[in-house]
Chain A
Amino acid sequence: MKIVHFSEIVKAVKTMCIEANYYLPEDIYDALKQSERLEESPIGKDILKDICINADIAKEDHIPICQDTGTAVFFVKLGQEVYIEGGLLEEAINEGVRQGYEEGHLRKSIVENPLYRKNTGDNTPAIIHYEIIAGENLEILIAPKGGGSENMSKVYMLTPSQGIEGVKKAVLEAVSFAGPNACLPVVVGIGIGGNFEKCALLAKKALTRDIESSNEDMRMAQLEKELLKEINNLGIGPQGLGGTTTALAVHIETYPCHIASMPLAINMGCHVNRHKQVRL
């Protein structure tokens, strides 16, 4: 058994909140650089260049890449052999968010009741997804999520007869609908299967994968490739102003599902597709 103290978690989460919002992951940065070289539209090329300069400025000045420093979304893997001392895990994560968003000068974007909209003032509560795993590690991944791209995400309750073509049609429709609003170029996170809530979670998780990665199932990897090509053929381009770079990547995650169902979720990840992971 391993003991992890409450204060260690608070400290790690605080640092993650700040670093995730200041420093764009290298894989995303490299993908943006490459798309800048390949983009056919002159306006699109300039936009991609500025997006890279923006990430450089944020890194150098230690300031948020985007003013929307997001909902603090966490994926937590808790080893069964871990004992957390000094308080509740959820409270430790929220305290880390509170401290990180304050000390890092990050924007507080969470309102209490969605209909009455009073800001909570400290960006809590976080949205936390837990997974119990074997062993004695506590792994915490933060993926701050901006509102612009999140608003353009969709769930489709497809039925089995719609098949691969149905999935493709829905994804292209969702990307077209998201269009200029989602801060293009995007990473498209897709969840297929599970049920209503599971597919949405898969789509969100898909956004945290390394940008160069492919699904382990060759058939899904092929579908990722085809969708990326078809999305970029739409011509929507950087910021929606026309061009050949609409998406940087398409990531699909799947899960078994009911004989009657084929749920599909599409989570748009803007070009500031931030995430950061630590292991305690």
Chain B
Amino acid sequence: MAQDHHDDGPSDVALRVKALESLLVEKGLVDPAALDLIVDTYENRIGPRNGAKVVAKAWADPAYKARLLEDATAAIAELGFTGAQGENMVVLENTATVHNLVVCTLCSCYPWPTLGLPPTWYKSPPYRARAVRDPRGTLREFGVELPEGVEIRVWDSNAEIRYMVLPERPKGTEKLSEEALARLVTRDAMIGVGRASAP
């Protein structure tokens, strides 16, 4: 991060948030215990392992996959993953001929309940600018080389909809359990900048 080189320096920002927090607490507008719980939840409890469970279940259970592609919000809620930034989910299926890629050009919209908070690169100007202009080149930077015949569909998040990619199931995984399948699902694969890992 550029914070070490910013004009105001990290100390100004750290001091500013400390001042804001202390005023909010003083006025009774926020509960300090709730603040710590929020941090713990988003730093330690919510993350891409949730999305991986959704993907593994879709790979293992065709009826679930159909529900997921039809109404992702409801299908994801079946596994208990609900909440802020997951209210209107759409799941996009990658196939041998179609590759989906998710971005938020205007902002940093991302499906928190299934993927957690977004990585810094997802929120950065270069990714937001280039994912829509040169998706094939952007994917190459992530180590994903797609054959010319594969159509790339780029999905730009809006104020309401949050997208998640259902990656292709890797070959040779027919006998794996759902738990073992989930371990092959990477965060990048669910954004569309990667593939699921080989077994």
A binds B: no
Residues of A with Cβ closer than 8 Å to B?
none
